[in-house]
Chains A and B, each alone.
Chain A
Amino acid sequence: MATFGYSLTPSSRIDLCKFNQEKWNRLVELESDVLKCMACGSCTASCTAGKFTRTSLRSAILYIQNGQEKQALELVQSCLLCGKCFMVCPRAINTRNLLLSINKIYSVK
């Protein structure tokens, strides 16, 4: 292959076509509250685990919707299931069940 003195890196652009509808449907089945998130960030702001490792339910939901499942999973794996995010969520999302469900669906290859 001819080389032109530079190499291609994987694009950093989000490809919405990578979104997996089938897995999302399963997530909605397990916890339909995922549809209620308004991305306010309260969960992330008061997350117990977030003080030590990057943990963010808000970002995880966004990453899943953007087809970036691996990154999404990384953001919830350090979760301690303390439930503090449930206390602050203005949409009263059942965050613990949502976190568990994300783990269940997106950790299987």
Chain B
Amino acid sequence: MNNNVIVIGGGPCGLEASAQLHKMGYNVILIEKDDHLGGHLAKWDRLFPEGIPAKELLDQLTGNINGVKYFLKTEVKSINLLDKEYNVILSNGITILAQAVLMASGFDLFPAQKKEEYGYGIYDHVITNADLENYFKTGKDCRIKQNPQRIGFVHCVGSRDEKAGNRYCSKVCCATAVKQACEVKEAFPDAQVYCFYMDLRMFGRGYEDLYLKAQRDCGVRFIRGRVSEVAEDLNKQLVVKAEDTLSGKPIKVTLDLLVLMSGMTNCSAGTRIAEMLSLKRDEDGFFTCKDTIFSLQESDKSGVFYAGACTGPKTLPDTLHEARAAALAINNYIKNKE
């Protein structure tokens, strides 16, 4: 029996799971559709809560996969179960027979242009959380003016929204918004920063301190109301409308920059592979775990495992834990088979 394990997705989850499986002695084949490893992490600048550079984590993760075979710009063309092994044909022509398949396909960011009322791609100064990270990384984004005076963050874009088809909370965007609110204040000390939220989900260790920092050190104004619409005035400034539900009054504010907190949706490339295997998905589009407390890493098909955001929004530490848990689950599964 060969000891091949296929890991689908070269983001933090796939990298960590590959490293662990490799250490256990498996022959790991990691498949990544993009031309680089790291997934969204490779595009991020700093990580909440402490602001650790994303690159530090990425370097650590990629440094640990020595010995793992990986293919970039490669997709799964077909995958099917032959007796007790999975036969996987890749877009580069290679065929692999594997004992187990790990879906570490992660998430796609919600396409903010779908929420037309927020004007992403229509107005000049509306960007997303990912765009802002890219700006912090590269210093370039023509939508961000020299010295913006008023900057707003819209929470829950494409999350907690039946109209967008996503009723669930994306979990990480509150902390991301508060982190980015502090960072823009540091980048533009003269600016007044506003966060429009419905509930602030600052659940993790150190997150509440980040909230306090935003209030005390950065003077961020937290407005409890969902942004209902955004318009552009003649000066290309953005007029944002919401209700300040705490005072019970509709409010408006004119901004120089608006940042949309795009949420997470299940990765479309991962979903395509799941369809070849007829894996179950929940109403929210994410994969269905065998059960939701005890066997998060197992799917409804024996030999197919899950880790990370393909089973719902996760933080990076959550994702890395699941990657390790999945390696263990796969090891137990293969040992049982032998």
- Using a CB–CB distance below 8 Å, which chain A residues touch chain B? 38-47, 50, 56, 58-59, 88-92
Contacts and interface: CB of A to CB of B under 8 A. Distances in A.
A80 to B, nearest CB: 15
A45 B228 contact: yes
B229 A45 contact: yes
A58 B244 CA distance: 11
Given A40-B198, A44-B250, A90 B226 contact: yes
Nearest to A40: B226
Contact of A42 (B224, B243, B251): B243
B253 to A, nearest CB: 12
B47 to A, nearest CB: 28
A41 B160 contact: no
Given A41-B243, A45-B241, A56-B248, A91 B162 contact: yes
B217 interface: no
Given A38-B198, A45-B225, A50-B250, A92 B163 contact: yes
B161 interface: yes
B184 interface: no
Interface in B17-48: none
A58 B117 CA distance: 20
B242 interface: yes
A45 B240 CA distance: 10
A40 B241 contact: no
Nearest to A75: B248
8 contacts: A41-B243, A44-B248, A46-B228, A50-B250, A88-B228, A88-B229, A89-B163, A91-B162
Most A-side CB within 10 Å, residue of B160, B198, B242, B243 = B243
Interface of B: 117, 156, 160-163, 198, 224-229, 241-245, 248, 250-251
Contacts, number: 61
Contacts of B156: 90
A50 B252 CA distance: 13
Contacts of A89: 163
Contacts of A45: 225-229, 241-243, 250-251
Residue of A40, A88, A91 ringed by the most chain B CB atoms within 10 A? A40
A38 B167 CA distance: 12
Contacts of A47: 250
A90 B161 contact: yes
Point out which of A42, A50, A56 has the most chain B C-beta atoms below 10 A from its C-beta.
A42
A53 B149 CA distance: 32
Most A-side CB within 10 Å, residue of B161, B228, B248? B228
A44 B245 CA distance: 9
A42 B154 CA distance: 13
B248 A42 contact: no
Contacts of A38: 160, 198
A39 B226 CA distance: 9
A15 to B, nearest CB: 19
Contacts of B229: 45-46, 88
Contacts of B244: 41
Given A45-B243, A90-B163, A91-B162, A40 B225 contact: yes
B302 to A, nearest CB: 38
